[in-house]
Amino acid sequence: MSEIVYERIKENLLALNMRNTLEIIDNYLERAIADKINIVDVLDHILVQESRAKKSRAVESQIQMSGFPFRKSFDMFDFSFQPSIDKAQIDELCTMRFVENRENVVFLGTPGVGKTHLAVALGIVAAQNRYSTYYINCNSLIEQLNRAHFENRLADRLKHFAKYRVLIIDEIGYLPMDMNGANMFFQLIAKRYEKNSTILTSNKTFSQWNEVFSDLTIASAILDRILHHCTVVSIKGESYRLKERNEFMKSKEKIVNTLFDEPKVFND
């Protein structure tokens, strides 16, 4: 192949943003020529690799933009530690049918049972499937809406949060909301209702949501819309944080005990 043609191929690969092909072309062409691979197979290989690499870059950037507090998957979740979770229900959620049907998911349970882990893992599956996904903690959501309200741009901000195909609102109920906060929260839920999916987590039972939203009417209007099309995963079990802490304390105890063990006397 002439130098000019070769340079032109590289220029065009760059212009077409075929970054993966640009990287592999030198070695791959040399090997393909040596192994006498036919031109159709060469093209097929190059295009398959290029489209795979493009997809994984797109998934990576979707995950980056989603604002997850950590990256944890379902594979990293020990389901045997939480037998109250129906694994079939989780598998069904992973099919993303709930996103297609514009349905919601709520994870309920006491602190440490894995609500955030599961919400993030589900969000990662959504991002991998190229749904626009965003994670936000409930308090910072209300803070952002409050700020927007004072700056006279609440409508824009609500529109912004309403547009994500999957919005994760974590930790509802850790701090109570004032009337204005509850009102803005209701407006967001109403905007998303039957249009997009919201994943929520809370350490409070639904009957305690009245206290969270400081007003019975707003709380029931919010619950009404969230629960109309919704999968509720109620986790009844021990805290994984406590389990890890107890295991750590036990192993520390064991080390300390070994250090203070009576010295062994060996008689020969």
Q: Which residues bind ligand ADP (CB under 6 A)?
A: 72, 77-78, 81-82, 109, 111-117, 240-241
Q: What is the secondary structure of 62-125 as a DSSP string?
A: HHHHTT-SS---GGGS-GGG-TTS-HHHHHHHHTTHHHHTT-EEEEE-STTSSHHHHHHHHHHH
The smaller minimum CB distance to Mg ion, of residues 116 and 128, is found at 116
Residues in binding contact with Mg ion, number by CB under 5 A: 1
Q: How far is the CB of 177 from ligand ADP (least distance, A)?
A: 19
The smaller minimum CB distance to ligand ADP, of residues 111 and 176, is found at 111
CA 237 – CA 188 distance, rounded (Å) = 31
Binding partner at 81 among Mg ion, ligand ADP, none, C-beta below 5 to 8 Å by kind = ligand ADP
CA 119 – CA 110 distance, rounded (Å) = 15
Q: How far is the CB of 196 from Mg ion (least distance, A)?
A: 22
Binding partner at 75 among Mg ion, ligand ADP, none, C-beta below 5 to 8 Å by kind = none
Binding partner at 185 among ligand ADP, Mg ion, none, C-beta below 5 to 8 Å by kind = none
Q: How far is the CB of 162 from ligand ADP (least distance, A)?
A: 25
Binding partner at 112 among Mg ion, ligand ADP, none, C-beta below 5 to 8 Å by kind = ligand ADP
Residue 20, interface with Mg ion (CB under 5 A)? no
The smaller minimum CB distance to Mg ion, of residues 24 and 235, is found at 235
At 211, which helix (H) or strand (E)?
Answer: helix 209-212
Q: How far is the CB of 231 from ligand ADP (least distance, A)?
A: 17
134 bridge partner residues: 167
Location of structure tokens 């349970």: 109
Identify residues 109-148 at the interface with Mg ion (CB under 5 A). 116
Q: Is 234 exposed, middle or buried (0-12, 13-18, 19+ CB in 10 A)?
A: middle
- C-alpha count within 13 angstroms, C-beta hemisphere, residue 11: 6
Stretch that binds Mg ion, among 2-10, 89-97, 99-107, 108-116 (CB under 5 A): 108-116
What b/e sequence results for 126-163 when a residue is b if at least 16 CB atoms lie within 10 Å of its CB, and e otherwise? bbbbebebbbbbbeebbeebbebbeeeebeebbeebbe
Residues that bind Mg ion (CB under 5 A): 116
